Structure 1
Amino acid sequence: MKKFLTIVTVIVFCGLQSVLAQTYRPVSGWNKEINNKIESFLNSTLTMKERKVAVFDCDGTTFGQVPHYLADEALYRYVDQVLKKRSDKEGKEKLQIINRMVESGDNVGKTYVEDRIHFLAGLSPNEIEMIGYNCYREAYEGKFFPEMKQFIANLKEYNFEVWVLTASPEILYQKFVSEQLGIPKVNILGAKCVIKEGKTTNEIILPIPQDDGKAHTIETYIKTKPLIVGGNSRGDMDMLNESAGLKIVVNPDDKTVRGSEDGPMNGYTVKSYWEKEGAVIVKCDDVVDPSIDFSTTKWKIRQNRPNPK
């Protein structure tokens, strides 16, 4: 009997130690109220047995998008550095797609997002991966928000799966996002295409993680209700509303009053809407680095608004 009680005591002690080992480390740069709210929520999940999932938008939420989205900069930089030197049929066809994108100017629109996939079609996954990775190293290194990295480190401490959603081509983003956030490449979901015989194609696989497509992507690929969702823009509204617990909104716009086409956000700015909904509003520094020569600027693509902390 004494031996049995000793074994039980050891098991209970080890279990207690396992729980206590999950310690929240305050995110520097966010105030005490925000940290307390996050810590309290994470501690409430300690005894959960089901999957614990956190899902984040990518550009503007996990790393900077000022002055341009990395997906755009990667493509226009590739045109300037590589494609302009080519005169073959495929090169000319890709330039036609780029000119169509520039003429449209709507770099958050459905057609534009799909044209990014069409532009990259014919390249191997490794080639596309390196286009994105090289662009990150040349123009975006250091732009991952340190606060979000600390937050995600806490989520891992509490045994959360961390997923990232982007409307950009997922192969373009997977290598550098995986390295910077320390999550598997397969947890980075973006615009997908069919790959045949080692080459990407024009065949887009739905849903594209854009607007309501982000919510559908969660249902289709992640297959569980996330406990935490993070975003930054109007396009993240549907995804944020999938959260069963905490909503984190990074640098939300407080200047543009949304219209009737924005559904429940009609009459609100992004910030005022999420304040009303009880989301956690956080700030991360996202400003222009004047030392970087952006190809996207030369192509006169719309710039994103800076968010100095």
Structure 2
Amino acid sequence: MSPRILPAVDGSDVFSFQDYGALLQLVSNSIVAAAALGIVGGLIGVFVMQRDMAFAVHGVSELSFAGAAAALLFGGSVVAGSLLGAVAAALVIGALGARARDRNSVVGVLMPFGLGLGILFLSLYDGRSANRFSLLTGQIVSVSSPDLGWLIAISAIVFAGLLVVWNPLRFDSLDPQAAEARGVPTRRISILFMLLLGLIVAVAVHIIGALLVMALLVTPAAAAMRVSQGPLAVPLLSALFGFVSAVGGILLAIAGTLPVSPYITTISFAIWGVCRLVSWRRERVVRTDEGRQPLRRAPA
């Protein structure tokens, strides 16, 4: 009996640019939504990193997934369902998790609960399997024209909210004790930030899926912080990295047969890797220069 020969993976199985222009028009809504998500997600990701809340992002996304799955099962608006789930999780985390230890424990409880509910709702759903899959890993054509309006409006609200509270939020993120001593309403700022985070997570679930939202809400900011420390340069770089990851991932996914999420996450990780390498090289040069400097003798 001859051994079974597995078919080799051909390049055309991953990329095919045939009829690329026509396909580009079909996903124009997704491109616009991804651009908005990349920019706003990159900006809010800076505060996520400064406040050490990357774990909270994943917790909010699980409840957003549960809300979207419930809406899918009961025939409601998936955008509204994911929005309600994300906002509910964000408010619970913001109200109960003032300290990092409390916040992580709350997130640790919410994550399996939200994921379990989402899986339950999807198992009861009898519709297209692509709808189920898109909630977890994203789908390139999942953004309809009505959904696009909601996603852009939500992104604009988050962007405006960040601009309004930027200075007190930054103060509270970098030095919460000093901010509270100076009269900054740190608890209200924390709850408001979690609300904004919940809104943008609901947008991210429709672009990249609930399992991989950190690729656009954490990784771009982490990459920007590796190569810059400036108060203006970091958010601008983070927004740029988020935009390139989101839009670039969709542009590649148009020509591919894979879901959009692997392309977005790969670009985001590649940017982080390059920034990490640049940071490492810079630190190595600084250490080398410090080692070459002659020791100064103390005056006699």
The TM tier, using the shorter chain, reads under 0.3
TM-score of the two chains, using structure 1 as the length reference: 0.23
RCO higher in structure (CA 8 A, sep ≥6): 2
Between structures 1 and 2, the one with greater strand share: 1
Between structures 1 and 2, the one with greater helix share: 2
